[in-house]
Structure formats: C-alpha cells, structure tokens
Amino acid sequence: MKGFKGRDIISISDFSKQEILHVLDTAKNFENYRNPSLLKDKMLATLFFEPSTRTRMSFEAAMHFLGGRVIGFSDARLTSISKGESLWDSIRIVEGYSDVIVMRHPFEGSARLAAEAANIPIINGGDGANQHPTQTFLDLFTIYKSKGTIDKLKVGFLGDLKYGRTVHSLARALSLFGAEMYFISPAELRMPSDDIEHLKKEGIVFHEVEDLIGTCPKLDVLYTTRIQKERFPDAADYEKVKGVYRVDNSMLKHVKPELKILHPLPRVDELSPEIDNSPHAVYFEQAANGVPVRAALLALVLGVAE
Amino acid sequence: MKELKVTAIENGSVIDHIPTDNTFNVIGILKLDRHDDTILIATNLPSKKLGKKGIVKVSGRQLTKDEANKIALVAPDATINIIKDFEIVEKLKASLPKQLVNVSKCFNPNCITNRDSVVPKLCVESARPLRLRCEYCERSMTQKDIQLV
Ligand SMILES: [Zn+2]
C-alpha cells in the first residue's frame, strides 16, 4: 500500500482494495470525532468553479472539527478565471496560500491536471461528468457501516445508470470486493459500454434488468439514483422514463429484512418519504457520513493520520 | 508484365504496409507537409495482407523508433526501412508505445485538454483493436475517435 501523506485523491480507480479499506477504517475513527488541535495551522482551499453546496460544506465542517482553517470561493465569476487565467496558473497561485486543495470544476480531467500543477495534495470534489471520489468513499463507508462488510454483497443500482457518475464509480469500486451487481434501469438509461466491458474483464457477475419488484428480493443493498431531466436532449424521452421506478412501502414488502437503501440525494419522486423511518433507509446517514470520510481523507493526505 | 518501378531513394526512410486509407494520416503524423526534400507517395497498391496498401518514401529523413511507434497508431503493420546510399541499414517495426503524448486530441469536447492549453496524453490500453484512454478525463477512445494534433 502506498502511503497517503501528500497524495492526491483524483479517481477511485487510483486506489487498491487495501487502500480503500484503509480509508474506511480511518473514517470510522473520525466519526463524532472533534479535535481542535489535529489540523491546527493547516489551511484548506476550496475552489468551487461550479457550485456544490453539500460537498463544500461537508469539507468545511470536517476541517473545522479538526481545528483547521478554510479559504476559498464558490463562484468562479468572481475570480481571474473569468479573465482567462489557465487552471494551471490558478492552482500554482492558490497552492501558495494553502496546505491542501479541494476543487470542483465543470470540465472532465481538470482534477488530474490540477494535481500535475500542484505540489500540495489535490482532492477532486467532482470534475464534470468524470469522477467524484469522496462521494464514492462515503457511499462505500455507508455500505461498510450498515452491512458490517463490503465483501460479496448483492448490490442493485436503480434509475439513471447511463449518466449517473456516482453509479459508475461505485460499481467500479465494488468490483474489487466481489459484489454481484443488478443494474435496474429503463433500456434508455443502461450502464455505458465502457463500464460493462470493465466488469466483464474483471469477471464480475452482473445482470441488466428492467424489473425492480422481481429483482429487489435478491438484494443486500439498493443504490437508488434520480433521473435528471436536464440530461435528456428531448423532453419527450424524459417523460417516457420519469417515474418508472418508485421505492416505497409497497416495494418493501418484497425485500430482505436486512436490505439497506442508499441514495446520493437530492431525490425527486423515486424515493418515497414514507420509508424514511424504516430500518432499510440509510440515505440521511449516508449524507452525514460525508464528514468523517472527508475528515479521514484530509488527515491522511496531510499526514496527521497514518 | 513489367512491374511498376517506384523510384528508389538514396538516403531516407521507406514506410511500407500502410492501410491504403491511412496513407495520408502517416504524412500527417510525421508532419511531412512541411518537409522540403523529395517525398514519394503511393496508394492503392496490391497487398496480400492488407488488400490495398500505401507506401511513403521520404528523402533526407531517418525516422526514429519514437516516430515508428507513432505511425503504429494508424498503420499497425507498418515496416520502416532506413536507407543509406540506396542500401537498407536498419529495419524498424511500428509498435504502439504505452503512452501517446501530443499525438491525438481527446475526443471528449468537455475534456480539460480541449478547453485549456494542455498537451493531450493518451494511454494505450490495447493495440488490436485499438483502445486508448485519456489520462485526464478517463474516457476510452477507438480508432474512429482519433484526431491528430
Ligand atoms: Zn480527455
């Protein structure tokens, strides 16, 4: 296992099974953990070239709980970028002000470029449609905590599997842990061929189906996603698939008692609030898990956790 | 019938076994449009292996191993003979390197390499069939997605 000190967190595919488990175990130690001296004198810069309030706030909370400080922006219109400064230059300048950078950027590959430019660790808070590795770590952490393991689970992915970047990264990570996967979606929103090829190459057992009720009794974990209207070039196509799946009390009649249901939130109507208080629902815990996971990653790359 | 004799060159390189449709892409990769010595280009020549093939003969330029490897992107079966005083002094075989730096653009319009002035880097995951992956946006590309820099 490579050491974490000074390391960039760009893509979940950069991490081995052992390294992922190490992040999850470290995150366990950071649950409800407050230590105002751990990251004292450390400065986080949050560069949000496009807004993502939750990602930014959970990083800020993690940093504050550990005694660190935060600078940054969440509106690129106020910066020199709008005057045509290259990303490379912006990163070289901001690394002079900080010890670690979290960046969200609309273009794919921007995080890898930032990591090349900087000598301090870069944490990718989302680069276009490509990667959002801290989300994947917190999804894995939620499964790990609620199931007690992430090995050899039967995991269902529901909804928009074509454009859902969280689904692609989570499926890739779970392939390291021998998961059997069920991809439940309308035909228009199936997993991209690149991801399917990868699963085949890794010898993963998976099923592509459209039927939720027939499939849900088999599952240990159900990862639900929202079907986003803005992804569809044609409004008629969206009307066809919107609301085809609904996770609600009537679906829960068919599932195993230990099934856990995740959702990266925000939701629309695919996830009924009537199940929020059921033992299956772990999506609000999932959102809260963003803080210990991001605290663990900050502590690891800053070298204060081993 | 007498065979058509393509003029021999005294010093330079002969690139043979190019798929005929990619002959001009080889010219592009080597930037031979800016070369000021003789260049002989033949296309649609009969070939047992390829059906039809192209040959490019360049006077006054000895291709390097690196250049031979770039040619493999559009002509995986190409052979390159280095000529001195009308004799073959070295034979190179095109073979794809692990990484292509500044050879083809990434095909993803939303990739940072197409938005900022960044040198594109593609990782070669498989030569046949050709599969490249952008080292920045992580998208996978095939032969048809190649856009030479
Ligand atoms: Zn790219």
How many degrees, rounded to 5, is the angle at CA A162 between CA A156 and CA A164? 70
Question: What is the whole-number distance in angstroms between the Cα of residue A107 and the centre of ligand 1?
Answer: 9
Q: What's this model's pTM, rounded to 2 decimal places?
A: 0.90
DSSP character string of A119-158? SS-EEEEEETTS--HHHHHHHHHHHHHHHS--SS-EEEEE
| Record: contact A108-B111, CB cut-off 8 A | yes
CATH assignment, A133-284: 3.40.50.1370
- pLDDT at residue A237 in the model: 84
Structure ipTM: 0.91
* Ramachandran region, residue A91 (left: φ > 0; alpha: ψ -120 to 50; beta: rest): alpha
Which pLDDT does position A2 carry in this prediction?
A: 80
In this chain, the answer to whether the domains covering A12-131+288-301 and A133-284 adopt an identical fold is yes
Domain ranges of chain A: 12-131+288-301, 133-284
Predicted pLDDT of residue B100: 93
Give residue A83's pLDDT. Answer: 66
Is the CB of residue B80 less than 8 Å from the CB of residue B68?
A: yes
B111 C-alpha vs ligand 1 centroid, how far in Å? 4
> Average pLDDT of each block of 10 consecutive residues along chain A (306 residues)?
93 97 97 93 96 95 97 78 81 96 96 98 96 98 97 97 94 97 95 95 97 98 91 83 92 97 94 97 98 98 94
What confidence score (pLDDT) does residue B11 get? 94
Query: What is the tens place of the pLDDT at every residue in B62-113?
Result: 999 889 988 998 898 999 999 999 999 999 998 898 999 998 999 999 999 9
Alpha carbon distances (Å) from A13 to A174, A176, B100? 11, 10, 21
- A12-131+288-301 under CATH 3.40.50.1370, yes or no: yes
Could you tell me which residues are beta bridge partners of residue A79? none
Q: Which residues contact B93 (CB under 8 A, 6 or more apart)?
A: B68, B78, B79, B80
Of A11, A13, A110, the CB nearest to B112: A110
Question: pLDDT by residue (tens digit) across A28-87?
Answer: 999 989 999 999 999 999 999 999 999 999 999 999 999 999 999 987 776 666 667 899
Distance CA A225, CA A12 (A): 19
| Torsions phi, psi for A79 (to 5 deg) | -110, 180
For residue A81, the model assigns a pLDDT of 63
pLDDT computed for residue A78 by the predictor: 63
Subunit contact B112:A113, Cβ cutoff 8 A: yes
Average pLDDT for residues B117-131, to the nearest whole number? 92
